[in-house]
A = this chain, B = another copy of it.
Amino acid sequence: MMDTKVIDVALGKKSADMVILNGNLINVHTREVYQSDVSIVDGKIAGVGKLPEGVIGPDTQIIDAAGKYLSPGFIDAHIHFESSMLTFTEFSNTVIKRGTTAVASDIMEITIVAGLEGLKEILSEAGSLPVSLYYPVPSFMGDESEFQTTGSVLSASMIEQLLPLDEAVGLAEVLVPPILAKSPESEKVIALADKLKKTAEGHAPATFGKELNAYVSTGIRSDHESTTKEEALEKVRNGLRVLMREGSASTDLKDCLRIITEDNIDPRHLAMISDDVDALHLVSLGHMDHKIRMAVKEGVDPVAAIQMATLNPAESLKIDDLHGSISPGKMANIVLLSSIEECAVKDVVAKGSLVVKDGSLIEKSVPPTYANVLRNTVSFFREIKSSDLLIKAQDGAEEAVVHVIGASPVSLLTDSLEASLPVKDKYVACDVSQDILHIACVERYGKNGNIGKSFIKGFSLKEGALATSVGHDHHNITVVGTNEEDMLVAVNRIKELDGALVVVRDGKVVGEIPLSIAGLLSLESAEDVAKEQEHLLTELKEMGCTMASPFMSLSFITLIFIPDFAITDVGLMDVKQFKIIDPVISWR
């Protein structure tokens, strides 16, 4: 785009809004670091290098970057900001301090709960914030209503409405099964993305060999589901941009980085992403800065690590015309670091304005007043009794052989386990000694009163229950517990709060994070949410829980696309068979 003011400032014919002098430029085009000045006007970079006479006028803001490094603003190419439990405004307040200036977030969770109207509220909120929000459009707006109940049914025609939007970078999360099944709907939406020259982002957990070949053949551009070095290597070799994930519950980055540190492959098609991170992770560890530090610690060249958080994600998303490097014409998103290796963010210029100084926000952005569509989103079809959360036994049965969801502390993948459980008082009991706990998923839109029930291993609770109104991709209320009374207390408390994370012990709520916006987002600050998260973790630990991110993990045990097992309000989902199955295998 030709901007005549930018040309004039580049040529020194007009003065800049801002100049950054004496910094050490991290050039991600060439993988070099050298001294360079930068001029900025109209939110864009005009000059880089030795600036001409005339660029500094009486109103030009001068930033002395002597001794500092200038990095392009960091980009998270795949995140669901809703997982932070923060409003987009507070998310922006939080990550901008860490140097993030652009994210691609598909906002599907809000849309599932509150429809297009809810989505548009968020896009409008984001427009004025320092962090640029790009919006990949959910690709699988198929009718999944036989497997789960949602607030809003996403329809295929929405894709045709949404994909042409400027913020819409492409299709999000194109799944493997419909591709392998040659679904005409998938064919249609991929063709539309192609026509618009937008990306089709992938979602291909544990996909290898011929299935990976078939999947990639459709032009899918990226994937963020690699959990091992081997998977990442095979995917990048196939031509996928591999987005290496470091989220709260999915910590795949360290293993994936071995394709650089051990196999020495060209890192141009690698980027680092979050997928899902909670407020505690963002506040205590950081965002892209944390991933850069991890990469450097694992032995990646520091400038290559910066590339994996700037140019590489920008090219993957096809937004490198505006993002990903400090060069003329790009958006003026510049992070001043006191050290590259430590990725120590001092100051941040976003959209041409200094927004972070010495690690602190100059001005904290304030969330808007949210429309009704995003509030009061939790209601029950009928009152729930504690026994509704249990599996009723067959008449005369003394024991049940059941499927058990095997949750992992480090991965979103679940194992398909089995267990024998006793029948007590006409219901299948859990077995705390074996860590086989109750899990239930309660329909929360007031539509049908569904409650899906099964068992889960991995949380190691010895008492009490935890429950959440966050559960991909339907956001019904999921509860895990050692007994149905505590579970019911937790579920009812979530209803009272219009959404929440809740921990219950001995019939009492001992910790909670209200999520009154769509049952997904808190109106509190990141620090407060993080603090309460820590409190919940402490309580859960005392109750025996061994999961690193129990709520984040729980919110994905509901996702019908991650093998082996998931739970929804309809029941236990066998992902590989792609159908709801009876949680009980046999009665004895």
Q: Which residues of A contact B (CB under 8 A)?
A: 1-4, 6-8, 10-12, 27, 29-32, 44-52, 179-180, 182, 186-187, 190-191, 194, 196-197, 209-211, 213-214, 216-219, 233-234, 236-239, 259, 263, 265-266, 268-269, 307, 315, 318, 321, 325, 327-330
Given contacts A3-B217, A6-B217, A218-B7, contact A239 B179 (CB under 8 A): no
Which of B1, B187, B219 touches A191 (beta carbons < 8 Å)?
Answer: B1
Given contacts A12-B210, A32-B237, contact A191 B2 (CB under 8 A): yes
Contact (Cβ within 8 A) A217 B265: no
**Chain B residues whose C-beta falls within 8 Å of the C-beta of A30 in the assembled complex:** 233, 236-237, 259, 263, 265-266, 269
**Chain B residues whose C-beta falls within 8 Å of the C-beta of A45 in the assembled complex:** 217
Query: 10 tightest A-B contacts by CB?
Result: A239-B327, A10-B214, A217-B328, A217-B329, A197-B197, A31-B266, A30-B265, A10-B213, A2-B187, A2-B218
Contact (Cβ within 8 A) B237 A29: yes
**Chain B residues whose C-beta falls within 8 Å of the C-beta of A318 in the assembled complex:** 197
Which of B7, B219, B269 touches A329 (beta carbons < 8 Å)?
Answer: B219
Complex CA gap A191/B263 in Å reads 42
Contact (Cβ within 8 A) A239 B29: yes
Contact (Cβ within 8 A) B268 A268: yes
Given contacts A30-B265, A182-B7, contact A1 B218 (CB under 8 A): yes
**Chain B residues whose C-beta falls within 8 Å of the C-beta of A266 in the assembled complex:** 29-31, 268, 307
Question: What residue of chain B has the Cβ atom nearest to residue A3's Cβ?
Answer: B217
For A52, A186, A190, A213, the residue with the greatest tally of chain B CB atoms inside 10 Å of its CB is A213
> Distance (Å) between the CB of A278 and the closest chain B CB?
33
Complex CA gap A560/B8 in Å reads 25
Contact (Cβ within 8 A) B325 A210: no
**Chain B residues whose C-beta falls within 8 Å of the C-beta of A216 in the assembled complex:** 327-329
Contact (Cβ within 8 A) B7 A209: no
Contact (Cβ within 8 A) A2 B190: yes
> Distance (Å) between the CB of A302 and the closest chain B CB?
13
**Chain B residues whose C-beta falls within 8 Å of the C-beta of A234 in the assembled complex:** 49
Contact (Cβ within 8 A) A29 B236: yes
Given contacts A219-B1, A327-B216, A329-B218, contact A50 B7 (CB under 8 A): no
**Chain B residues whose C-beta falls within 8 Å of the C-beta of A50 in the assembled complex:** 209
Complex CA gap A47/B44 in Å reads 44
Contact (Cβ within 8 A) B321 A265: no
Given contacts A7-B182, A266-B29, A266-B31, contact A328 B197 (CB under 8 A): no
Question: What residue of chain B has the Cβ atom nearest to residue A326's Cβ?
Answer: B239
Which of B11, B186, B263 touches A214 (beta carbons < 8 Å)?
Answer: B11
| Other A-B pairs beyond A3-B218, A29-B266, A30-B236, 13, CB < 8 Å | A1-B219, A6-B217, A10-B214, A12-B210, A30-B233, A30-B265, A31-B266, A49-B234, A52-B210, A218-B329, A219-B321, A239-B327, A268-B268
Contact (Cβ within 8 A) A327 B238: yes
Which of B52, B213, B268 touches A48 (beta carbons < 8 Å)?
Answer: B213
Question: What residue of chain B has the Cβ atom nearest to residue A216's Cβ?
Answer: B328
> Distance (Å) between the CB of A8 and the closest chain B CB?
8
**Chain B residues whose C-beta falls within 8 Å of the C-beta of A6 in the assembled complex:** 214, 217
> Distance (Å) between the CB of A350 and the closest chain B CB?
19
Complex CA gap A307/B268 in Å reads 12
Complex CA gap A197/B327 in Å reads 19
**Chain B residues whose C-beta falls within 8 Å of the C-beta of A330 in the assembled complex:** 239
Contact (Cβ within 8 A) B182 A2: yes
**Chain B residues whose C-beta falls within 8 Å of the C-beta of A12 in the assembled complex:** 210
Complex CA gap A209/B12 in Å reads 11
> Distance (Å) between the CB of A586 and the closest chain B CB?
35
Pairs across A and B, CB under 8 Å, 10 listed: A1-B191, A2-B191, A2-B219, A7-B214, A29-B238, A30-B237, A48-B237, A52-B209, A197-B318, A214-B328
Complex CA gap A7/B212 in Å reads 10
Complex CA gap A266/B301 in Å reads 12
